[in-house]
Amino acid sequence: MKALILAGGFATRLRPLSCTRPKTLFPIVNKPLLQWIFERLSKDGVDEAILAVNALTKFYIKQTKIPKQGLKIKFSVDPPKKPLGTGGPIKKAEKLLGRSEPFIVLNGDIYAEIDYKKLLETHKKTKALATIALCKVEDPCSFGVVELEENKIRRFVEKPARGQAPSDLINAGAYVLDPEVFDYIPKGKHISIERDVFPKIVEQGRLSGLIIEGLWKDIGKPQEYLEANKAVLDTIKNTKKDEKTCFKVNSPSALDKDVSIGEKSVIGPYAIVGRNVKIGKCVSISNSIILSDTEICDYATIKGAIIGEGAHIGESAKINNGCVVGDKVKIKDKVQLNEKTKVCPAKEINF
């Protein structure tokens, strides 16, 4: 079976971190999201993954060298300066996907424990044109919401107004599609599968849904990205307790290779620290993600924040809840960032 991974969006809501990497390469507990996706697809019997990208995303993905998990990897690139949306790339990849059997399409910005075999079974059993993985959420209004009867979707409402959602079941961003869907998408156009294609299929009574049970996390916004990391961290076994260290690591936390920590520092709970991060003495980090190659100087405090790659956090600096610090930013000594401050890549903050 083949899978098309949509990964050519601009991730505007994840700026400034997405200024320097595509969403699908954001690390989830120190491993690129795309690697988690490859692992799951390969486990569920997919043998070929086609990445629907733009030229820049293709460059970043190739540079990252993610283990392929036995998958054959191909790229389908949107035309220059002409993004095709979430539907157009499916038509663009028609030749690569072929017309011989149903295929999977999924958003490259979700962490989802979806049983793709079961999704395919439901698709075949219900003789649908498209079968959507569905997820129960508390607030469905910023997603596509469905009305489900048995496995049939009776209504699909994209981002309904508050109070207008037909249920709490949302489009989880993963589908099985029949090749006939190619006939619903015009060539070379920016098409939204959610707004332009699914409503037509619903009208014909050929849209199915399957409620998924595992963990599902969208990483569209910084807070969601942080929450996704924390949720995945909860599913991984706890940090092994380091006896007799002169610093403390509170579980759950994840430290990648070559992390150094100075004396009396308190790391965690929920500290996710990337490769080659240097942490000074008496530093406190909790509920935060620190990407690789960053340096955090003595007495700094980081809570509820995301710090980009290769950043420098000065001595006694304080980075507060909701802050997002871009790659290679320099925060000088004693600087305090107010809650929800966003700092663009490579900036120097001196006050």
Q: Could you tell me which residues come within 8 angstroms of residue 88 by beta carbon, excluding any fewer than 6 positions away? A: 78, 185, 188, 189, 190, 191
| Closest distance of CB 110 from ligand GTP, Å | 8
Question: 62 an active-site residue?
Answer: no
Q: Give the nearer residue to ligand GTP in terms of CB position, either 13 or 264.
A: 13
Would you tell me how many other CB atoms lie within 10 Å of the CB of residue 256? Answer: 18
**Cα torsion 161, 23, 115, 196: sign:** positive
Nearest of 34, 65, 40, 45 to residue 2 by alpha carbon: 45
Q: Give the nearer residue to ligand GTP in terms of CB position, either 220 or 274.
A: 220
Q: Give the nearer residue to ligand GTP in terms of CB position, either 256 or 327.
A: 327
Which residue carries 């569920």 as its tokens?
44
Q: Give the nearer residue to ligand GTP in terms of CB position, either 194 or 295.
A: 194
Q: Give the nearer residue to ligand GTP in terms of CB position, either 8 or 310.
A: 8
Query: What is the SS3 assignment for 244?
Result: coil
Would you tell me how many other CB atoms lie within 10 Å of the CB of residue 138? Answer: 5
Phi, psi dihedral angles at 279 (to 5 degrees): -115, 125
| Closest distance of CB 18 from ligand GTP, Å | 8
Residue nearest to ligand GTP according to CB distances in the complex: 9
| Closest distance of CB 335 from ligand GTP, Å | 28
| Closest distance of CB 15 from ligand GTP, Å | 8
Query: What is the SS3 assignment for 41?
Result: helix
- Which residues contact ligand GTP (rule: CB under 6 A)? 6-14, 23, 52-53, 78, 83-86, 89, 107-109, 220
| Closest distance of CB 222 from ligand GTP, Å | 11
Nearest of 279, 278, 236, 231 to residue 254 by alpha carbon: 236
Q: Which of 152, 159, 248, 264 does the annotation list as catalytic?
A: 159
Measured distance CA(69)–CA(166) in Å, rounded: 39
List active site positions.
159
